[in-house]
Amino acid sequence: MSHTLIAPSILAADFANLQRDIEMINASEADWFHIDIMDGVFVPNISFGMPVLKAISKHATKTVDVHLMIVDPDRYIQTFADLGANILTVHIEACTHLHRTLQAIKAAGMKAGVALNPHTSIALLEDTIKDIDLVCLMSVNPGFGGQKFIDNTYDKVRALKKLINEKGASTQIEIDGGVTNKNAKQLADAGADVLVAGSYVFGAENPTQTVADLKKLLS
């Protein structure tokens, strides 16, 4: 419970001051960088692509956690490895051959993550959970920052934690979307290991202090 990680989402950073914001996170108590890649097809928004990720990786001194909201992610696994991703998360809804995709991510030297949309049941992970390093439970419909947290997520975290324990897996649980100081503790208590926070951190007057406050809340 005391080791819940915080992963600020760069989607909410100031892209005109990207290096400044990355260095701010480097110097903060945050644990990971969460990087959202959207293709305008899998989700109704386009975020940024490879050149921007390359620039982020150049300055980031913490784990680079890349969340792909794209169709056909298999095409870009090696590219994201070369761009400095440490964890590569694909959406289960975008993978026809999930097991093969997970093996390919690991073969490229990254940790393998699987993201689930709010409507997707964790039961779909029963046969692959031992091969998954990270499950990202979407607590909003993916595509945009600043949306409202979906309360059903608490039940999902508990059910996923149960599945992980039953199968003897060592998978980490990440929550993505609408995380604030109002739900962080309850999510950690339910079994979450990593909390992504975008607008709550970067929209704050003092993001560094906001991260520190979140960490304190979770300690």
Among positions 78, 120, 147, 181, the unique one binding ligand DX5 when judged by CB under 6 A: 147
Q: Quick check: 113 binds ligand DX5 (CB under 6 A)? A: no
Residues 6 or more apart whose CB falls under 8 angstroms from that of 146 comprise 12, 198, 199, 203
**Residue type for 202, please?**
F
**Catalytic positions, please?**
36, 176
48-77 residues in contact with ligand DX5 (CB under 6 A) are 67
CA–CA gap between residue 142 and residue 179 (Å, rounded): 14
- DSSP secondary structure letter of residue 67: E
**Do 84 and 64 touch, CB atoms closer than 8 A?**
yes
CA–CA gap between residue 41 and residue 176 (Å, rounded): 20
Residue 184 is inside which H or E element, if any?
Answer: helix 184-190
The minimum distance between CB 39 and Zn ion, in angstroms, equals 13
Among positions 65, 133, 176, 193, the unique one binding Zn ion when judged by CB under 5 A: 176
Q: Which is nearer to ligand DX5, 46 or 50 (CB)?
A: 46
The minimum distance between CB 184 and ligand DX5, in angstroms, equals 11
Q: Which is nearer to Zn ion, 1 or 25 (CB)?
A: 25
Q: Which is nearer to ligand DX5, 44 or 109 (CB)?
A: 44
Q: Quick check: 174 binds Zn ion (CB under 5 A)? A: no
In the bound state, the residue with its beta carbon closest to ligand DX5 is 198
Phi and psi angles of residue 2, each rounded to the nearest 5 degrees, phi first: -85, 0
How many residues bind ligand DX5 (CB under 6 A)? The answer is 22
| Structure tokens, 156 | 């999902």
Residue 177 binding: pick among ligand DX5, Zn ion, none (C-beta 5-8 Å cut-off by kind): ligand DX5
Q: Quick check: 91 binds Zn ion (CB under 5 A)? A: no
**Do 190 and 157 touch, CB atoms closer than 8 A?**
yes
Residue 143 has a CB neighbour count (10 Å cut-off) of 18
Site string for ligand DX5, 158-187 (x = CB under 6 A): ------------------xxxx--------
| Structure tokens, 104 | 């390919």
Judged by the rule CB under 6 A, the positions of this chain that interact with ligand DX5 are 9, 11-12, 34, 36, 67, 140, 142-147, 176-179, 196-200
